[in-house]
A and B are shown apart, each in its own frame.
Chain A
Amino acid sequence: MDESGRPIFLQLAEQLENQIISDQFEEESQVPSINELATFHSINPATALKAINQLVDDATLYKKRGIGMFVNAGAKQALITKHSQKFRAEFVEPLIIEARKLGITSQEIIQMLGKESF
């Protein structure tokens, strides 16, 4: 995982959430096992377990006994809603702070955005 001081299980959970949102893991499909995740990211399995447990607690994933962890139906939409709620704090606020620092007006920003279509 990355070098920031953030807890790894949070980073891993977020990464899995993003993968579900972008359809890399579809609903009712299986996600990698704890051991596979640990090996792939070179982290302690207990950390991977923590991430998975958080996603189970959030009802993003569910466990099929003896088989593995699967993406819950409706998880994608729930995650999109959750991430959208954080969008303003995570992306817009920093943009505003930085723009203020540099003296860029909101008009200029709207102009920049105007060229994009979404």
Chain B
Amino acid sequence: MTKVIEVNNLTKSYRGATAVDSVSLAIEENGIYGLLGRNGAGKTTLMKLVAGHELASTGEISVYGASPFENSAVLANMAFIRESLRYSENYKIGHVLKAAKIAFANWDDAFAQSLVDKFQIPRKRLVRKLSRGQLSAVGVVVGLAARAPITILDEPYIGMDAVARKHFYDILLADYIKHPRTIVLSTHLIDEVADLLEHVFVIDQGRIILDANTEDLRGSAAVIEGSTESVDDAVAGFVILESQTIGTQKRVVAQGLKAEDAARLQSAGLAVKPATLQQLIISQTNMDSSEKVEVA
């Protein structure tokens, strides 16, 4: 599989604050990649750098083998939908779509129109008068109908209720299957989006702390619960990501367990469950931020 995006030791600093810190990663053609992280972790900055909207402080970015910054040839293959995109004064959704049609070579207008109906975006209202969720829907319509070979979506569902978000995930998946392309989606709603993602990057305080295939991550950690004594005995030797005690009971998220270990622990009376992607990532993030929560 060709690598369409390659980032090498990328750093971006603004007035002393480092937003992106020595990030290296590679994205292969035609996949759905998740960029996960807390607010302010550096997701948006990283996406801006890859999309050529900002210039790196140090390091390299290569998109289709070239630097994207001010590179018209590469830029024409990208769409970057940000969560706070403001359109021209007095534009209605129809005007936005007309502009998008001119800008994007692969634009599918019939698809765009059907999406406007599906998301129930009012056609007569000015875009600047739309609700937060409707504005996000506009971004989603543009982002998907553009059919850009590299589509970058930065938390595109802000303001959308759960039903609208489900629509978005379903439509995204269906269109990706029909028209495969490289999609990078940033989110902090891990469990909702997890099933769509083939690969995740977790960014925390500007650094990549996880870079793995989603299915490999699933089942790589387990949640073990039982009496503090038996848990401590059982988990000796495994990597502990998180631990909480309540009274004489303890719950631990541990990495490195194999099927035999899980069976052994269960017959010893401990509750063992696979950790969900969200649990794993949250524990990993907390661990790296050295925050351990003790419930006395």
Query: 1/0 per position for A1-33, CB-CB distance to B under 8 A?
Result: 101111111100000000000000000000000
- Complex contacts, A9 vs chain B, CB 8 Å: 215
Within 8 A of B (CB), among A25-79: 35, 38-39, 41-47, 50
A39 CB → nearest B CB, Å: 6
Q: Nearest chain-B residue to A93 (Cβ)?
A: B267
Q: Nearest chain-A residue to B276 (Cβ)?
A: A5
Query: 1/0 per position for B180-218, CB-CB distance to A under 8 A?
Result: 000000000001000111100000000000000011001
Q: Nearest chain-A residue to B259 (Cβ)?
A: A89
Please, how many angstroms separate the alpha-carbon atoms of A25 and B164 in the complex? Answer: 35
**Is the C-beta of A97 less than 8 angstroms from some C-beta in chain B?**
yes
Asked if residues B218 and A5 are in contact (CB atoms below 8 Å), the reply is yes
Asked if residues B173 and A42 are in contact (CB atoms below 8 Å), the reply is yes
Asked if residues B263 and A35 are in contact (CB atoms below 8 Å), the reply is no
- Complex contacts, B222 vs chain A, CB 8 Å: 5
- Complex contacts, B174 vs chain A, CB 8 Å: 39
Asked if residues B197 and A44 are in contact (CB atoms below 8 Å), the reply is yes
Given the interface contacts A38-B173, A97-B269, does A47 sit within 8 Å of B276 by beta carbon?
no
How many of B's residues come within 8 Å of A, CB to CB? 31
Partner among B173, B218, B277 whose Cβ is within 8 Å of the Cβ of A39: B173
B273 CB → nearest A CB, Å: 7
Please, how many angstroms separate the alpha-carbon atoms of A7 and B214 in the complex? Answer: 8
Asked if residues A5 and B277 are in contact (CB atoms below 8 Å), the reply is yes
Asked if residues A42 and B31 are in contact (CB atoms below 8 Å), the reply is no
Asked if residues B173 and A5 are in contact (CB atoms below 8 Å), the reply is no
Within 8 A of A (CB), among B244-296: 263, 266-267, 269, 273-277, 279-280
Which residues of chain A have a CB within 8 Å of any CB of chain B? 1, 3-10, 35, 38-39, 41-47, 50, 89, 93-94, 97, 101
